[in-house]
């Protein structure tokens, strides 16, 4: 089927702003996409028919900061054990020199009150800023931001703040993960006994390193473990196309899964994957998605029901497309913890100057879809393809996932006593 335009008139250079997030799914048919439009306002669009049609939500209350630079979004249900309905949105705003935060509630499709997280000096150039937001297992929300990568004073040019009430009244200063190494930070939930703890996947753009950081909330300290060092990418490339390294949290064991490119547009580039155990931490290299080829702009999703991992990207593993000029969107699946990857699937309908993808990072028991959103640079549009997506059905209450998967394969109705039915078909 043809690509579906979610909305035209996006912000220019959406890829440099990390200005596209989602779809985030609350069922296989209901999903949300968040992005910046041409006046740099932030909008939320919703589908109730599996991506065929999209409608902007709560237009009277969306953030209209017209100098928004960089944006980040986090869904409650990305955190293990969290069944919440909030999309947490954070952004840096240059004309007011602030970091801001708002909640969008998918239970009633409304924005909450826009909060100022911190006052920071913010560059007018999108590539010079960075922001991330996460909800810890305890429910505490953290927002970190760098307003100007070339300026390094904590609580003036960069900071991290946390809150137990969405920054309504509680707003506490934490040790910032930014330094003179000019980091790009993706905050993730922690797995420690202290449920306020968080972690992060961090790109050091000065030394070209990829790192895993752990934040001890009670001590207000960060610990750093190298994932990969001496990446071949230069600082300008890392900042200008931030989404070349992405991470998700796997709920079954609270490991952090990461995929990344160690270089771009060169015969020596490798599309790599790692599995991170938080406790030690331990970095375990997994299988490359492909090697020595030209693709970029990664996104990732995990089906928390069975741990299937999906990765989307621009540019085929055949190496026959022109990155930043004429590429399509593709995805691959791993059903064995990234030990192997299935055949590349073409997702978009036609090649163009496609610059980024996002998949919402998690699908839980409510189900959802593997439906990467992507950005067309010259047309300034956000698109999906509702014919090449993959449905992830809602988990049937009280029925183990292995029985459900076997039943679906045989076309058995999802009703008890399902085990007896599946055994009769010889699948268990």
- Write out pLDDT tens, residues 153-183: 999 999 999 999 999 999 999 999 999 999 9
pLDDT, one tens digit per residue, over 238-262 is 777 777 899 999 999 999 999 998 8
Q: Give the confidence band of 403 by pLDDT, cuts at 50, 70, 90.
A: low
C-alpha 353, offset from chain centre: 21
Largest CA-CA distance found in the chain, in angstroms, rounded: 67
Which tokens go with 60? 């009277």
Spatial contact of 149 and 123, defined as CB atoms under 8 Å apart = yes
Q: What is the DSSP letter of 218?
A: T
C-alpha 86, offset from chain centre: 15
Is the pLDDT at 63 greater than 80? The verdict is yes
Spatial contact of 333 and 342, defined as CB atoms under 8 Å apart = yes
CA-closest candidate to residue 93, choices 60, 74, 116, 62: 116
Per-residue pLDDT at 406 = 53
Q: Give the confidence band of 426 by pLDDT, cuts at 50, 70, 90.
A: very low
CA dist., res. 428 & res. 420, Å (int): 9
Domains of the chain by range and CATH?
Answer: 3-393 (2.120.10.10), 396-428 (no CATH)
Mapped onto helix, strand or coil, the DSSP state of residue 411 is coil
Q: What is the mean pLDDT of residues 30-44?
A: 92
Report for 91-100, 210-219, 377-386: range of highest mean pLDDT: 210-219
Is the pLDDT at 408 greater than 60? The verdict is no
Looking at the chain, the whole-number percentage of residues with pLDDT higher than 70 is 92
Per-residue pLDDT at 413 = 56
Q: Is the dihedral of CA 422, 423, 425, 428 positive or negative?
A: positive
Q: Give the confidence band of 411 by pLDDT, cuts at 50, 70, 90.
A: low
Bridge partners (DSSP) listed for residue 373: 358
Q: What is the mean pLDDT of residues 89-113?
A: 95
Per-residue pLDDT at 421 = 46
Spatial contact of 56 and 43, defined as CB atoms under 8 Å apart = yes
Spatial contact of 242 and 179, defined as CB atoms under 8 Å apart = no
Per-residue pLDDT at 404 = 56
Which tokens go with 406? 């076997």
Q: What is the DSSP letter of 315?
A: S
Residue matched to tokens 């006046």: 39
Which residues contact residue 400 at a Cβ distance below 8 angstroms, ignoring those fewer than 6 apart?
A: none
Per-residue pLDDT at 217 = 98
Is the pLDDT at 416 greater than 80? The verdict is no
Is the pLDDT at 294 greater than 70? The verdict is yes
Where is pLDDT greater, at 397 or 188? 188
CA dist., res. 203 & res. 224, Å (int): 12
Per-residue pLDDT at 206 = 93
Q: Give the confidence band of 320 by pLDDT, cuts at 50, 70, 90.
A: confident
CA dist., res. 155 & res. 268, Å (int): 39
């Amino acid at each position: 089927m043809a690509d579906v335009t979610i909305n035209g008139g996006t912000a220019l250079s959406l890829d440099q702003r990390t200005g596209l997030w989602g779809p985030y799914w609350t069922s296989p048919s209901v999903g949300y996409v968040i992005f910046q439009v041409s006046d740099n306002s932030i909008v939320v669009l919703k589908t109730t028919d599996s991506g065929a049609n999209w409608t902007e939500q709560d237009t009277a209350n969306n953030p209209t900061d017209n100098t928004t630079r960089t944006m980040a979004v986090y869904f409650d249900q990305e955190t293990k054990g969290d069944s919440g309905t909030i999309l947490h949105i954070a952004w840096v705003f240059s004309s007011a020199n602030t970091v801001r935060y708002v909640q969008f509630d998918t239970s009633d499709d409304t924005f909450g009150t826009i909060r100022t997280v911190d006052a920071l000096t913010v560059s007018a150039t999108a590539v010079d800023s960075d922001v991330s937001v996460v909800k810890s297992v305890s429910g505490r929300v953290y927002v970190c931001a760098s307003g100007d990568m070339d300026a390094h004073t904590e609580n003036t040019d960069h900071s991290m703040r946390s809150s137990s009430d969405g920054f309504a009244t509680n707003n506490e200063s934490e040790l910032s993960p930014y330094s003179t190494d000019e980091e790009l930070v993706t905050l993730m939930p922690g797995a420690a006994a202290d449920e306020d703890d968080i972690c992060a996947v961090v790109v050091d753009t000065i030394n070209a390193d990829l790192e895993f950081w752990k934040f001890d909330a009670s001590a207000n300290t960060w610990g750093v473990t190298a994932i990969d060092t001496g990446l071949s990418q230069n600082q300008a490339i890392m900042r200008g196309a931030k989404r070349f390294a992405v991470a998700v949290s796997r709920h079954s064991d609270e490991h952090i899964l990461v995929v990344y490119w160690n270089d771009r547009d060169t015969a020596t580039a490798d599309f790599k994957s790692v599995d991170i155990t938080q406790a030690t931490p331990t970095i375990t290299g997994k299988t490359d998605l492909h090697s020595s080829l030209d693709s970029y702009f990664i996104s990732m999703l995990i089906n928390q029901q069975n741990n299937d991992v999906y990765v989307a990207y621009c540019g085929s593993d055949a190496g026959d497309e022109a990155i930043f000029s004429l590429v399509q969107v593709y995805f691959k699946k791993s059903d064995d913890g990234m030990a192997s990857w299935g055949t590349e699937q073409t997702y978009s309908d036609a090649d163009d100057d496609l610059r980024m993808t996002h998949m919402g990072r998690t699908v839980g028991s409510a189900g959802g879809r593997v439906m990467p959103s992507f950005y067309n640079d010259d047309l300034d549009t956000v698109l999906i393809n509702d014919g090449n997506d993959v449905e992830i059905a809602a988990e049937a209450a009280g029925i183990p996932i292995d029985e459900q998967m076997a039943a679906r394969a045989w076309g058995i109705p999802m009703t008890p006593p399902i085990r007896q039915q599946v055994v009769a078909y010889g699948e268990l």
